[in-house]
Amino acid sequence: MIYDISVTALIFFCIFVGLVLGLSFYFGRKKSDSSSYYAAGGQIHWAVNGIAFAGDYLSAASFLGICGMIAIAGFDGFLYAIGFLAGWIVALFLIAEPFKRLGKYTFTDALNSKFNSRAITLAASVSTLIISIFYLIPQMVGAGDLVMPLLGLPHWAGVILVGAIVIAIVASAGMASTTYVQFLKGGLLIVLSLILTVYILKNGLSLSPGTKDNPSHTFIELEPQVESAGVAAVDGWEVLSQQEVSNKTFVKLRQNGVERWFYLTEKDGKPTLKETLTIVQKANGEKLYNGETKDKRKFYQVGHLSKIIVNGKEVEKTGAVGPFEFLSTIKESDVVRFLQTKLTDGTDQVAVYYPEVTAGAKFMLPGLKYKIGTDASLWSKLDFVSLMLALFLGTAALPHILIRYYTVKTPRDARKSTILAIAAIGGFYILTLFMGLGAAVNGVMDVESSNMAAPLLAKAFGAVLFSVISAVAFATVLGTVAGLIVASSGAIAHDFIDIYLKKNLNDDNKVKVGKIAAVIVGIFAILLGMAFKGINVSFLVGWAFAIAASANLPAILFLLFWKKTSSTGISASIVVGIVSSLAIILTSPTMWDKYGLGAENAMHQLENPALISFPLAVLTVYVFSMLYPKKEVSALVEA
Amino acid sequence: MRFFTSIVYRTIVDYQHQNNQTFYKPFEPLFMHVNSTTEEKEIVTKQKSKLGVRLFFIYLICYAGFVALGVFNYELLSTTVFSGLNLAVVYGIGLIVFAVIMGIIYNYYCTKYEDAAEKGDTK
């Protein structure tokens, strides 16, 4: 995508990010003794805490990822919203209260509360580290995507920028994700999404989206003369060559010295050439966008409806629509999505994005990404089940999610906060459906990355809305990244070096080790963020959820609900959970594609590991607890 | 007003707490004191945990129903059920709304159990 920098957007963006960061620092500098903490315990209003809870939870994955996934794969993106929210049920009904009774608030501490075993400390700190890193990857990818249209910087620069800011903050002062900052972020994100949704509905659906000053590009269609050997001639264009890639035919044409690729398909029974978007990587390193250099700005945003049907009649545009009408009209209409393929043309590497007309009825059903119809393969069905399992069980097992549950005084307030959080997050997720679909039909999609769907949609409605939404999203990413880096450096410095290796560091050294660990984790996160560019962030978060569900949840559930659980069972289950889920992820088609070996050659076709790794971890905790039962000494240690 | 002062006050306090434990001793022992203020009767604990497990299974069945429908009777999800919306959208949004309703039910009964136990104490 080629982005123009908008000065207005940039100014608003800086003001907003500055405001959030400033607040964070301002409160961070005020120091006093910890006794005031006790006095304030319970001072916080449960409603503030509830929205702050939502602010904690709604990371880049929710806002950028889900909207983006809905925009390119329709209902399949909404599966993430359903699963992310369902996870809260596990957290609220099964985990939160028993945890509180154990008097422990992190997984490591809770798991170890009955045993005080070094093996558990080691296993739990490794799992915290790995889950945090897998959660960091999508945040970094999202950060890079966000910075591109705002500052006109390439993706890698955005990733480094975020990484550097966060490392600087964490290593110098330590950025707190305070209740107030999270409250502000969570509240703003929900309000802005509501505003965006109102814009979408007011705008309605149109065959030619975009405003008068800024119309969206109309994609051309040509009628070729086709002979048995292929396209013979096209009016006004010179036919250069023809290629077939995975059953799709692409034709290279030339006009006014510019070479373009067209997709040969049929429309109303006649052969038709449809305009595609291409990025050509020349052997000499030159990059051509739609056959021209970058400065010509001949690369477009995509996504529109090719046919709108209201009450059985075809219309040009609908005008303002209600929420149900919006969803049902899309269901009846035809959506044009742009799919990607790659081809080699002589020495040129060509990335082609070609239009594919998808019936709205299909778009509003699961199946475009996770194929689950009758004709779907067993692998893709398993993949779907696996994803839903990971999302359901992952939330409660993420190291950083439950903490806020324990920051209000009474159990009643904790519960009320959580329920408000569920309502706020649930409401937000319903809005993602509208924002995602809105992005899909309003000609705003960036073909190179789906993650910017919601902010780019906001851009179509105005620079200010765009910059404010981007700023909130960016602040969210910063906060989440900072929190995760602190969590993982804590796992290294506190759990691993101090407790496991029994180094007995003094406080100064502990902080020093922690900071070094934070810098290393931060740099690692930057590198991974660059490596995973272009992959949808929700998809990546799905992995973090799967690892969390496999490594932590079986152990914690057995500890809470099965008296015979032993320390060996717990540590073995964490290890098996991590190893099996990691092994499946690292051999998955997406990774195979990243290694450059081609997704179709992967060792298996399962994208999400939870379906295998979770039961395996459950089995492990059971078998090992039976083989190596609880030692009685533990009671003494606990006392 | 108390609402806003509480926000500011809490934020400051939160922050110190966070600073105190940035790289070490996560979340203890500060939090423990905050929470151990209310001792709970064992019977209330049992009632709440039983309710939680029950509600969890109810939700699990609904959630699993959606997944099963997707895998075994995918075509059914495309049926239009209401206001031009197909079953997939209605079931999906329904699951989100249902989670909120379940949360409210859970809170209602937990509060009731706790109140009942407190009344028993004062008698």
Better pLDDT: B91 or A176: B91
Question: Nearest-CA distance from A636 to chain B in Å?
Answer: 20
* pLDDT score, position A223: 84
Average of per-residue pLDDT across A419-439: 93
Of B15, B27, B33, the CB nearest to A176: B15
Residues A258, A340 share a domain: yes
Boundary (domain end) residue, out of A337, A363, A389: A363
- Least CA distance to B74: which residue of chain A? A373
Boundary (domain end) residue, out of A363, A395, A413: A363
* pLDDT score, position B34: 39
pLDDT tens readout for residues A511-558 = 778 788 888 888 988 998 888 887 888 888 889 999 999 998 998 889
Residue A395 located in a structural domain: yes
Average of per-residue pLDDT across A72-95: 90
Residues B98, B67 share a domain: yes
- Least CA distance to B58: which residue of chain A? A89
Residues A353, A386 share a domain: no
Answer left, alpha or beta for residue A381, where phi above 0 means left and psi between -120 and 50 means alpha.
alpha
Residue A223 located in a structural domain: yes
Better pLDDT: A582 or A403: A582
Residues B46, B30 share a domain: no
Beta strands (DSSP E) in A180-257 are 205-206, 221-222, 224-227, 230-234, 238-245, 248-255
Residue with tokens 């604990």: B45
Residue A42 located in a structural domain: no
Split at pLDDT 50, 70, 90, the class of A43 is low
Angstrom distance (rounded) from CA A474 to CA A21: 11
Given CB atoms, is A35 within the 8 Å cutoff of chain B?
no
- Which residues on B lie below 8 Å from A418 (Cβ)? 103
Question: Nearest-CA distance from A10 to chain B in Å?
Answer: 29
Residues A527, A615 share a domain: yes
Question: Nearest-CA distance from B88 to chain A in Å?
Answer: 6
Residues A498, A552 share a domain: yes
Residues B75, B101 share a domain: yes
Of A174, A406, A507, the CB nearest to B35: A406
Average of per-residue pLDDT across A349-359: 88
Given CB atoms, is A412 within the 8 Å cutoff of chain B?
yes
Residues A423, A326 share a domain: no
pLDDT above 90: residue B95: yes
Least confident of A37-51, A123-137, A365-379, A386-400: A37-51
* pLDDT score, position A464: 83
Residue A34 located in a structural domain: no
CATH number at residue A137: 1.20.1730.10
Split at pLDDT 50, 70, 90, the class of B9 is very low
* pLDDT score, position A172: 62
* pLDDT score, position A192: 92
Angstrom distance (rounded) from CA B81 to CA A367: 19
- Least CA distance to B63: which residue of chain A? A86
Window 565-624 of A, Cβ < 8 Å to B:
none
- Which residues on B lie below 8 Å from A416 (Cβ)? 107
Test A183 with B26 for CB contact under 8 angstroms: no
Average of per-residue pLDDT across A317-331: 89
Given CB atoms, is A26 within the 8 Å cutoff of chain B?
no
Residue with tokens 């945090």: A132
Split at pLDDT 50, 70, 90, the class of A193 is very high
The domain in which residue B61 lies consists of: 39-123
Window 114-173 of A, Cβ < 8 Å to B:
none
Residues A415, A337 share a domain: no
- Which residues on A lie below 8 Å from B67 (Cβ)? 384-385, 388
Size of chain A in residues: 639
User: Based on the number of CB atoms within 10 Å of its own CB, is A249 exposed (0-12), middle (13-18) or buried (19 or more)?
Assistant: middle
The DSSP bridge pattern shows strands A221-222 and A270-275 to be antiparallel
Angstrom distance (rounded) from CA A572 to CA A551: 10
Residues B119, B82 share a domain: yes
Angstrom distance (rounded) from CA A201 to CA A433: 12
Split at pLDDT 50, 70, 90, the class of B11 is very low
Window 46-85 of A, Cβ < 8 Å to B:
48, 75, 78-79, 81-82, 85
Cis ω on the peptide bond leading into residue B29 (within 30° of 0)? Answer: yes
Residues A338, A296 share a domain: yes
- How many distinct structural domains can be found in chain A? 2
Whether residue A30 contacts residue B20, with contact meaning beta carbons closer than 8 Å, is answered with no
Of A78, A93, A106, the CB nearest to B27: A106
Q: What is the mean pLDDT of chain A?
A: 82
Residues B97, B75 share a domain: yes
Size of interface A-B (CB pairs under 8 A): 254
Test B88 with A365 for CB contact under 8 angstroms: yes
Angstrom distance (rounded) from CA A499 to CA A593: 40
Residues A544, A395 share a domain: yes
Residues B45, B23 share a domain: no
Better pLDDT: A24 or A380: A380
Residues A449, A467 share a domain: yes
Angstrom distance (rounded) from CA B68 to CA A606: 18
Angstrom distance (rounded) from CA A232 to CA A238: 10
* pLDDT score, position B23: 34
Split at pLDDT 50, 70, 90, the class of B83 is confident
Residues B11, B57 share a domain: no
Tokens, residue A386: 């696996």
Residues A279, A187 share a domain: no
Boundary (domain end) residue, out of A330, A363, A396: A363
Residues B87, B31 share a domain: no
Whether residue A318 contacts residue A328, with contact meaning beta carbons closer than 8 Å, is answered with no
- How many distinct structural domains can be found in chain B? 2
Of B30, B78, B104, the CB nearest to A419: B104
* pLDDT score, position A28: 56
pLDDT tens readout for residues A5-19 = 777 778 888 887 787
Q: How many helices (H) and strands (E) does chain B have?
A: 4, 2
pLDDT above 60: residue A452: yes
pLDDT above 60: residue A374: yes
Residues B49, B109 share a domain: yes
Angstrom distance (rounded) from CA A518 to CA A503: 19
- The alpha-carbon radius of gyration of chain B (Å, integer) is 22
Of B13, B66, B83, the CB nearest to A37: B13
The domain in which residue A385 lies consists of: 7-24+50-205+379-638
Test A75 with B97 for CB contact under 8 angstroms: no
Mutate to test the interface with A, among B12, B32, B51, B76 (most CBs of A within 10 A): B12
Better pLDDT: A37 or A581: A581
Whether residue A472 contacts residue A27, with contact meaning beta carbons closer than 8 Å, is answered with no
* pLDDT score, position A178: 63
Residues near A624 by beta carbon (within 8 Å), at least 6 away in sequence: A566, A568, A569, A572, A573
* pLDDT score, position A637: 43
pLDDT winner (highest mean) among A128-142, A467-481, A509-523: A128-142
Of A82, A372, A490, the CB nearest to B74: A372
Average of per-residue pLDDT across A313-338: 88
Split at pLDDT 50, 70, 90, the class of A144 is confident
- Cα dihedral: A366, A370, A375, A381 (round 10): -110
Residues B79, B20 share a domain: no
Distances in whole angstroms, Cα of residue A361 to Cα of each of A74, A315, A372, B75, B95: 10, 17, 15, 11, 21
Angstrom distance (rounded) from CA A608 to CA A584: 8
- Which residues on B lie below 8 Å from A385 (Cβ)? 67, 71
pLDDT above 80: residue A440: yes
Test B74 with A367 for CB contact under 8 angstroms: yes
Angstrom distance (rounded) from CA A554 to CA A397: 9
pLDDT tens readout for residues A24-39 = 666 655 543 333 333 3
* pLDDT score, position B19: 44
- Helix, strand or coil, per DSSP, at residue A632: coil
- Least CA distance to A504: which residue of chain B? B24
Most distant CA pair in chain B: distance in Å? 60
Better pLDDT: B23 or B17: B17
- Least CA distance to B112: which residue of chain A? A412
* pLDDT score, position B59: 95
Residue A126 located in a structural domain: yes
Test B34 with A407 for CB contact under 8 angstroms: yes
Residues B118, B69 share a domain: yes
Of A374, A403, A411, the CB nearest to B27: A403
- Which residues on B lie below 8 Å from A433 (Cβ)? 89, 93
pLDDT tens readout for residues A218-277 = 888 888 888 877 777 888 888 888 888 878 888 888 888 888 888 888 877 888 888 888
pLDDT tens readout for residues A197-225 = 999 999 888 887 776 666 778 888 888 88
Of B8, B28, B63, the CB nearest to A109: B28
Question: Nearest-CA distance from B3 to chain A in Å?
Answer: 6
Average of per-residue pLDDT across B38-48: 76
Test A40 with B13 for CB contact under 8 angstroms: yes
Three-state SS sequence of A173-189: CCCCCCHHHHHHHHHHH
Residues A220, A198 share a domain: no
CA atoms within 13 A on the CB side of A187: 13
Least confident of A56-70, A324-338, A620-634: A620-634
Test A490 with B24 for CB contact under 8 angstroms: yes
* pLDDT score, position A404: 66
Average of per-residue pLDDT across A411-439: 90
Residue A370 located in a structural domain: no
Residue A61 located in a structural domain: yes
Test A178 with B33 for CB contact under 8 angstroms: no
Residues B44, B22 share a domain: no
Given CB atoms, is A325 within the 8 Å cutoff of chain B?
yes
Angstrom distance (rounded) from CA A197 to CA A323: 9
Residues A294, A394 share a domain: no
Answer left, alpha or beta for residue A257, where phi above 0 means left and psi between -120 and 50 means alpha.
left
